C-alpha cells in the first residue's frame, strides 16, 4: 500500500512538474548532439547514462535557460548531415571547429578548448619521435581532425607510414594498437591521455600537432540560439559552476580557454 | 577533388572488394555443403549443435561477427590483431554465408523425390555415388535462384568490411566523403555496386540457362 | 533341378510400426519363369517386391538369390543380412522397374541406361554404349537416345526405365505396377515390351492390376490378400477356376 501511495505521489509530482514546465514561456527542447565515444567530453558513464564535461556543461546551461535537455548520439562522420536534418540542435562533443564549417554556413561558438593531436604508442615499441613511424602502420579515427591533418597539412608525414588505416571508433583504433595490427594511433590529446592513464603499457609522444580549437556547431540561421548558449556558459563561468565541473576532468582542465 | 580523381581513388579499393567477394564465394559454397550435411546428420547431437550454430550465425548481425572474428581473439586470449584484415574479413564472411548456403542446400536436398534414391540404390550405386552423381546435380539446378540471391547480397555486404578498417571501396568512399564534406562518393559507390551486381546477375543467369537443358 | 531357382523367399514378415503388412510369405521363382502377383491395394504386393529388392529390411524370414543367402533369421532371432560389400554384388542379380519410372532427369536417355553399368559395374564404356543402343533399339527408342526424360511420354519413360534395368544384365527383373502411372492408351506399349521379354525367357516378377495381361503373360499367378498368399498356380486355373472364396470375390470385383 505504501508503495502504491509512493507511486501515486510520484505520478502527481511528475504531472505538476510537466504542468509547470508548459506554463513557462521559454520552455523549449534543446537536443545536444554528442559523440558517445569521446571521453572525457562525452561518453557513456558506468551507470549507462551519457555524461562527460561537455554534457554536464550543456545540461547546466540548459537549466539556466529553462530549456528541456535531451541528448542525441550522432554518427560522427555524418554529424553535420544529422544536424541539418534536425536530429539535434547542435554538435557539441569536443569538436574541432574548421574553416570549412564556417564556409558551409554553420554557426560556430567561440572556442572553449585548445586541442592538439598526439601520437600514442606502446611503451616498449622503441618509437620515440614521429620520425620513427617511417615504415610503420598507423591508425586514425575516421572523421577526426587527426585524419584531416594527416590527409592535408601532415601528408608528408603520412607518406612515410607503411599504411594508414581509418577506424570508425577510438576503441577500434586502440584495439588495433593493443593487438599490434598498428604501431601507433594518431589521436586527440585528451583521448590519448585518458587511455594512457587507464591502460598500462602505453605512452604519448612529446610532439603535438595541429593546435586546433573545440567549439559548438549550430545550424545556419541559429545565431540567436548560439548566443543564448554562449551567454549561459558565460554565466556558469561567472558563478563558479564551470570550474567545479572542470575539476572532475583533470585530463582537460589545463586546456580550457575560459579558465585561463 | 574532381569526380574523376574520386572514381580512380575508389576504384583502387575495388580490387579489395573483389577479393572479399570471390574468396567468400570460393570458401562459403563448399563449406555450406559440409554444414548442410552436418545439419542433416542422423546423429542428434551433431545436427542439434549445427542447427544452433546456424541460428546464431543467421540471427546475429554480420557486422558483429566481423568484429568478433577480427578483435575477439585479442580480447579473449590477448592474441595479436591481424595486420592483413582480408583474412578475418574473409573468414567471417565465409562462415556467415556458409550458414545461409547450408539452409539453401538442405532445402534443395530435401526436395529431391525419394524415388531417385531408391532407383540409385537398386541400381547398385553407393551412398556417395548416389549423392554426387544423382542427387547433387539436381539440387544445384534447383537452388540456383536462391544462391544467386545470396551472391547479389554478398556484393553489397562487402561494404561492411569498413567496420574492421579494411580499406575496400566503400571505406575509401567514406574517407573521401569526410575529407571533402561531399555526398558524391556515396553515389559513386552506389554506381560501382550496381555495375558489379549487374555483372554477377548476368553471369549467374548464364549458369542458370546452362542448367536448363532439362526441366 | 534345384539349381534352377533364381529367388527364394521363405516366411517373410514385415511390419510398419504396428501394422503387419507381410505375415509370413514364402515363394520361389525358377529361371525363365514369369510370375504375376495380383491382389487388392494394401495386400502387401509392393512391400514384398521392396523386400525382395532390399529397399526394405525384413523382420523375419530368409531371402536367397541363386546360391547366395542374402538374409537369414535364426530361430527366434533378428534377420542377419550379408555385409555391405557383398550386398552390392547381390544387387547385380536383380533389377526393378518402378511405378513412377524414377528416371534421372538430369541424364539423357542414353546416359540413364549407360551410367550404372559404367559407374557401378565398372564396365568398358564403348561396349556398354553398344549394348545400351541395342537395348533402346529393342525398346523402340533408338531415336530418343539424346532426349531427356522430361521430353518423353510416360510410356516412353517406362521403356527407358526397363532398358536401364536390363543394362545391368540382371537374372531377374521385378516390375512394381509398371503401367499404373500411365494413361490407358500408353499401357499397351509397355506391356508389349514385357511380353517380348517373356518370350525371350527373361525371369520376371510382375505386380500388376492388368488381369488379362497377367493371365496371358505369366507361367504362374500369385493372389495376395491381407499379408498372405491366398492362392497360387497356373494362370488359367487361378483366373478360370479359383478355389478360394477371396480370390473369386476379388476377380469378380475386377470384371465389373
Query: For the residues of B95-144, what is the DSSP string, one character each?
Result: HHHHHHHHHHHHHHHHTS-HHHHHHHHHHT--HHHIIIIIIHHHHHHHHH
pLDDT for the residue A13: 47
Q: Count the helix, strand and coil residues of chain A and give each as a percent rounded to the nearest 5.
A: 45, 25, 30
Interface residue B81 vs chain A (CB under 8 A): yes
Position of cell 583533470? A250
CB spacing of B80 vs A148 below 8 angstroms: no
CA distance C39 to C49: 13
Model pLDDT for residues A143-202, shown as the tens digit of each residue: 888 988 898 889 999 999 999 999 988 989 999 999 999 999 999 988 898 889 889 999
Q: Closest partner residue to B80 among A151, A165, A181, by Cβ?
A: A181
Distance, in Å, from the CA atom of A196 to the CA atom of C156, rounded to the nearest integer, reads 82
Please tell me the distance from the alpha carbon of residue B80 to that of residue B73, in angstroms, as a whole number. 8
Overall average pLDDT of the B21-45 stretch: 96
Is the pLDDT confidence value at A22 over 70?
A: no
Cα B193 from Cα B110, distance rounded (Å): 34
Residues B152-194: tens digit of each pLDDT: 999 999 999 988 988 889 988 888 887 777 788 899 999 999 9
Question: Of B113, B124, B137, which is closest to C88 when you measure between CB atoms?
Answer: B124
DSSP secondary structure string, B150-192? Answer: HHHHHHHHGGGGGGGT---HHHHHHHHHHHHT-SHHHHHHHHH
For the ranges A10-14, A136-140, C81-85, the one whose mean pLDDT is highest:
A136-140
Which residues of B fall within a CB distance of 8 Å from A143?
178
CA distance A126 to A144: 26
Mean pLDDT of B96-114: 96
Mean pLDDT over each residue of chain B, to the nearest integer:
92
- Do the chains contact at B81 and A167, CB–CB below 8 Å? no
Q: Tell me the mean pLDDT in the region C116-142.
A: 94
Instruction: Give the closest of A152, A167, A181 to B83, CB-based.
Output: A181
Asked if A148's CB is within 8 angstroms of B171's CB, the reply is no
Answer yes or no: do A77 and B165 touch at CB < 8 A: no
C48 in helix, strand or coil?
helix
- Mean pLDDT of the B119-132 span: 95
Whether residue A7 is predicted with pLDDT greater than 80 in this model: the reply is: no
Residues of chain A neighbouring B169 (CB-CB closer than 8 A) = none
Q: Least CA distance to B135: which residue of chain C?
A: C104
Is some CB atom of chain A closer than 8 A to the CB atom of B44? no
Mean of all residue pLDDT scores within chain A: 86
Task: Confirm or reject contact between B9 and chain A (CB < 8 A).
Answer: no
**Considering the domain A29-113+213-259 in this protein, what is its CATH number?**
3.40.190.10
B82 and A181 within 8 Å at the Cβ level: the answer is: yes
Burial per residue of A112-129, b for 16 or more beta-carbon CB atoms within 10 angstroms, e otherwise = bbebbbbbbbeeebebee
In A66-134, the DSSP E strands lie at: 67-73, 90-96, 107-108, 113-114, 117-122
Instruction: Give the H/E segment covering residue A20.
Output: helix A2-23
Q: In what order do the strands lie in the sheet with C19-30?
A: C19-30, C5-16, C60-65, C68-73, C79-81
Q: What is the DSSP string of A162-209?
A: SEEEEESSHHHHHHHHHTTS-SEEEEEHHHHHHHHHHSTTEEE-S--B
Closest-CA residue of B relative to C113 is B123
What average pLDDT does the segment C116-126 reach? 94
Output the pLDDT for position A136: 94
pLDDT band at A115 (very low <50, low <70, confident <90, very high): confident
CA separation for the pair A187, A96 (Å, rounded): 13
A&B contacts, CB < 8 Å = 55
Chain B residues touching residue C96 (CB < 8 angstroms): 122
Mean pLDDT value of segment B24-53: 96
The pLDDT-based confidence of A216 (bands split at 50, 70, 90) is very high
- The whole-number pLDDT of residue B206 equals 93
> How close A180 gets to chain B, by Cα (Å)?
6
Residues of B with CB under 8 A from a CB of C: 113, 115-116, 118-119, 121-126, 129, 133-134, 137-138, 141, 213-215
Residue B8 distance to chain A (closest CA, Å): 17
pLDDT tens digits for C44-86? 999 999 999 999 999 999 999 998 999 999 887 889 999 988 8
Of B125, B137, B141, the CB nearest to C116: B125
The closest CB to that of C102, out of B119, B126, B214, belongs to B119
Contact B81 A175 (CB under 8 A): yes
Residue A136: closest CA among chain B residues belongs to which residue? B83
Instruction: Please tell me the predicted confidence (pLDDT) of residue C147.
Output: 95
More confident residue, A34 or C1: A34
Q: What is the pLDDT of residue A14?
A: 47
Q: Chain A residue closest to B78 (CA)?
A: A179
Contact C120 B119 (CB under 8 A): no
Q: For the residues C135-153, what does the mean pLDDT come to?
A: 94
> What is the arithmetic mean of pLDDT over A24-49?
83
Identical fold between A29-113+213-259 and A115-211: yes
Given the candidates 3.40.630.40, 3.30.70.2740, 3.40.50.10240, 3.40.190.10, the CATH classification of the domain at A115-211 is: 3.40.190.10
> Are B and C touching by the rule of 3+ CB pairs within 8 Å?
yes
pLDDT at C3: 63
CB contact under 8 A, B162 and A77: no
Q: Do the Cβ atoms of B186 and B173 come closer than 8 Å?
A: yes
The answer to whether residue C148 neighbours chain B at the CB level (below 8 Å) is: yes
Q: Which residue of B has its CA nearest to A144?
A: B178
Tell me: pLDDT of C25 over 80.
yes
**CA-based nearest residue in chain C for residue B136:** C106
Rounded Cα distance between C103 and C113, Å, is: 9
Domain parsing of chain A, residue ranges = 29-113+213-259, 115-211
Q: Beta partners for C25? A: C12
Cα separation of B82 and C74, whole Å?
65
Q: For chain B, which domains are there?
A: 3-211 (1.10.3720.10)
What is the reported pLDDT for C256?
Answer: 59
pLDDT the model gives residue C65: 94
Q: What is the ipTM of this complex?
A: 0.92
Q: pLDDT at residue A116 above 50? A: yes
Q: Is residue A98 scored above 80 in pLDDT?
A: yes
**How far is A29 from chain B, CA to nearest CA, in Å?**
28
Contacts (Cβ under 8 Å, ≥6 apart) of C66: C5, C6, C93, C171
- Hey, how many other C-beta atoms are within 10 angstroms of the C-beta on B137? 15
Q: How far apart are the first and last CA of chain B?
A: 54
Residue A41 CA, chain-centre distance (Å), reads 4
Helix (H) or strand (E) holding B68: helix B62-77
Nearest CA in chain A to B80: A179
pLDDT higher than threshold 60 for residue B114: yes
> A52 and A41 in contact (C-beta within 8 Å)?
yes
Q: Chain A interface residues facing chain B, Cβ-Cβ under 8 Å?
A: 77, 80, 100, 104, 137, 139, 142-143, 147-148, 151-152, 165-168, 172, 175-176, 178-182
Q: Decide if A168 and B177 are in contact by the 8 Å CB cutoff.
A: no
Distance from CA of C17 to the nearest CA of B (A): 20
Residues 6+ apart with CB under 8 A from C124: none
Specify the 3-state DSSP secondary structure of A67.
strand
C115–B contact, CB cutoff 8 A: yes
- Contact call for B83 and A137, based on CB within 8 A: yes
More confident residue, A13 or C74: C74
Amino acid at each position: 500500500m505504501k508503495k502504491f501511495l509512493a507511486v501515486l505521489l510520484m505520478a502527481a509530482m511528475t504531472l505538476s512538474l510537466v504542468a509547470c514546465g508548459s506554463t513557462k514561456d521559454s520552455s523549449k527542447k534543446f537536443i545536444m548532439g554528442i559523440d558517445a565515444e569521446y571521453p572525457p567530453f562525452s561518453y557513456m558513464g558506468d551507470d549507462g547514462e551519457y555524461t562527460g564535461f561537455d554534457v554536464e556543461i550543456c545540461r547546466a546551461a540548459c537549466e539556466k535557460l529553462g530549456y528541456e535537455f535531451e541528448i542525441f548520439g550522432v554518427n560522427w562522420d555524418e554529424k553535420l548531415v544529422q544536424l541539418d536534418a534536425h536530429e539535434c540542435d547542435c554538435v557539441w562533443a569536443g569538436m574541432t571547429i574548421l574553416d570549412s564549417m564556417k564556409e558551409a554556413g554553420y554557426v560556430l561558438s567561440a572556442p572553449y578548448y585548445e586541442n592538439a593531436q598526439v601520437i600514442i604508442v606502446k611503451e616498449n615499441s622503441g618509437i620515440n619521435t614521429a620520425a620513427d613511424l617511417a615504415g610503420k602502420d598507423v591508425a586514425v579515427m575516421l572523421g577526426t581532425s587527426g585524419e584531416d591533418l594527416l590527409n592535408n597539412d601532415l601528408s608528408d608525414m603520412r607518406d612515410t607510414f607503411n599504411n594508414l588505416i581509418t577506424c570508425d571508433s577510438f576503441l577500434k583504433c586502440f584495439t588495433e594498437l593493443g593487438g599490434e595490427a598498428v604501431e601507433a594511433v594518431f589521436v586527440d590529446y585528451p583521448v590519448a591521455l585518458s587511455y594512457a592513464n587507464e591502460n598500462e603499457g602505453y605512452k604519448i609522444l612529446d610532439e603535438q600537432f595541429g593546435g586546433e580549437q573545440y567549439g559548438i556547431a549550430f545550424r545556419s540561421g541559429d545565431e540567436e540560439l548560439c548566443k543564448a548558449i554562449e551567454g549561459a556558459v558565460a554565466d556558469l563561468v561567472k558563478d563558479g559552476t564551470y570550474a567545479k565541473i572542470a575539476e572532475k576532468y583533470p585530463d582537460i582542465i589545463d586546456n580550457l580557454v575560459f579558465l585561463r | 577533388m574532381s569526380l574523376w580523381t574520386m572514381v580512380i581513388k575508389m576504384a583502387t579499393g575495388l580490387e579489395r572488394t573483389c577479393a572479399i567477394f570471390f574468396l567468400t564465394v570460393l570458401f562459403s559454397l563448399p563449406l555450406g555443403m559440409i554444414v548442410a550435411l552436418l545439419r542433416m546428420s542422423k546423429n542428434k547431437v551433431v545436427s542439434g549443435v549445427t542447427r544452433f550454430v546456424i541460428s546464431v550465425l543467421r540471427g546475429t548481425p554480420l557486422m558483429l561477427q566481423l568484429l568478433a572474428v577480427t578483435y575477439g581473439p585479442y580480447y579473449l586470449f590477448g592474441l595479436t590483431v591481424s595486420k592483413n584484415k582480408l583474412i578475418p574479413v574473409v573468414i567471417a564472411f565465409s562462415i556467415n554465408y556458409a550458414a545461409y548456403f547450408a539452409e539453401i542446400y538442405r532445402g534443395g536436398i530435401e526436395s529431391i523425390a525419394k524415388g531417385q534414391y531408391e532407383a540409385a540404390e537398386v541400381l547398385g550405386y553407393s551412398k556417395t555415388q548416389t549423392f554426387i552423381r544423382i542427387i547433387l546435380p539436381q539440387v544445384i539446378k534447383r537452388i540456383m535462384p536462391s544462391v544467386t540471391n545470396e551472391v547479389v547480397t554478398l556484393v553489397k555486404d562487402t561494404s561492411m568490411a569498413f567496420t574492421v578498417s579494411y580499406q575496400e571501396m566503400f571505406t575509401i568512399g567514406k574517407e573521401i566523403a569526410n575529407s571533402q564534406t561531399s555526398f558524391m562518393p556515396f553515389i559513386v559507390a552506389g554506381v560501382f555496386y550496381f555495375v558489379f551486381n549487374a555483372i554477377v546477375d548476368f553471369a549467374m543467369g548464364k549458369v542458370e540457362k546452362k542448367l536448363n537443358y532439362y526441366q | 533341378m534345384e539349381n534352377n531357382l533364381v529367388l527364394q523367399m521363405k516366411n517373410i514378415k514385415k511390419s510398419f510400426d504396428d501394422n503387419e503388412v507381410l505375415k509370413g510369405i514364402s515363394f520361389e521363382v525358377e529361371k525363365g519363369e514369369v510370375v504375376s502377383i495380383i491382389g487388392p491395394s494394401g495386400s502387401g504386393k509392393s512391400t514384398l517386391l521392396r523386400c525382395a529388392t532390399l529397399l526394405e529390411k525384413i523382420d523375419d524370414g530368409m531371402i536367397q538369390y541363386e546360391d547366395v543367402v542374402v538374409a537369414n533369421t535364426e530361430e527366434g532371432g533378428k534377420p542377419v543380412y550379408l555385409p555391405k560389400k557383398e550386398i552390392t554384388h547381390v544387387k547385380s542379380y536383380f533389377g526393378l522397374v518402378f511405378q513412377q519410372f524414377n528416371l534421372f532427369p538430369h541424364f539423357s536417355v542414353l546416359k540413364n541406361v549407360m551410367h550404372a553399368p559404367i559407374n557401378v559395374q565398372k564396365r568398358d564404356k564403348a561396349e556398354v554404349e553398344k549394348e545400351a543402343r541395342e537395348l533402346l533399339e529393342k525398346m523402340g527408342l533408338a531415336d530418343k537416345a539424346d532426349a531427356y526424360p522430361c521430353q518423353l511420354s510416360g510410356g516412353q519413360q517406362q521403356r527407358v526405365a526397363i532398358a536401364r534395368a536390363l543394362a545391368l544384365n540382371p537374372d531377374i527383373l521385378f516390375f512394381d505396377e509398371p503401367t499404373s502411372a500411365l494413361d490407358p492408351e500408353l499401357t499397351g506399349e509397355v506391356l508389349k515390351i514385357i511380353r517380348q521379354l517373356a518370350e525371350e525367357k527373361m525371369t520376371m516378377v510382375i505386380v500388376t492390376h492388368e488381369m488379362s495381361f497377367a493371365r496371358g503373360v505369366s507361367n504362374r499367378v500369385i493372389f495376395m490378400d491381407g499379408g498372405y498368399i491366398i492362392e497360387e498356380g497356373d494362370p488359367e486355373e487361378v483366373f478360370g477356376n479359383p478355389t478360394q472364396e477371396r480370390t473369386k470375390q476379388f476377380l469378380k470385383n475386377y470384371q465389373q
